[in-house]
């Protein structure tokens, strides 16, 4: 059995919100919402899905920035998420692709300044 999160006056509303999101028919990702538990700290299932989004975004930003570990080493947590297949591969965009994107942005700005819309040609 999983151990519940710490008790607080917000637990009931948090549970209602999670149940609402988890059962919402219009949210295609609703089946990915985890439970309101802390789970086990062992193995690839050690970090429940509920916590993964915030933690994953934070750790991915650290990884992309090549940030050094601080007082609390973040890299071991990133490795745990990666090992548990909870983080997709981070892909850096090459210079050629960025140049094309910047060129497209410049074209759109120029067309806007000329009073044209990118949809005019369609």
In angstroms, the CA 59 to CA 75 distance is: 8
pLDDT (average), residues 116-122? 78
Condensed to tens digits (0 to 9), the pLDDT of residues 79-92 reads: 888 888 777 766 77
Alpha helices in 1-122 (DSSP H): 11-22, 49-64, 75-83, 95-113
Exposed, middle or buried by CB within 10 Å (0-12, 13-18, 19+), for 39? Answer: middle
Judge if 111 and 97 occupy the same domain.
yes
For residue 20, what pLDDT is reported?
A: 83
Judge if 13 and 34 occupy the same domain.
yes
Does the predicted TM-score (pTM) go above 0.75? no
Residue numbers of the domain that contains 54: 44-91
Cα end-to-end distance, the chain, whole Å: 58
For residue 61, what pLDDT is reported?
A: 82
Task: Count structural domains, the chain.
Answer: 3
Phi, psi of 114 (to 5 degrees): -85, 0
pLDDT band at 50 (very low <50, low <70, confident <90, very high): very low
């Amino acid at each position: 059995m999983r151990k519940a999160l710490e008790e607080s006056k917000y637990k009931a509303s948090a549970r209602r919100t999670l149940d609402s999101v988890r059962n919402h028919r219009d949210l295609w990702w609703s089946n990915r919402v985890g439970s309101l538990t802390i789970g086990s700290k062992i193995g690839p299932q050690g970090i429940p899905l509920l916590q993964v989004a915030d933690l994953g975004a934070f750790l991915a930003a650290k990884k992309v920035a090549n940030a050094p570990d601080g007082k609390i080493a973040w890299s071991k947590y990133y490795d745990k998420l990666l090992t548990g297949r909870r983080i997709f591969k981070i892909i850096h965009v090459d210079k050629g692709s960025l140049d094309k994107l910047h060129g497209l942005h410049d074209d759109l700005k120029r067309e806007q300044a000329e009073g044209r819309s990118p949809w005019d040609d369609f």
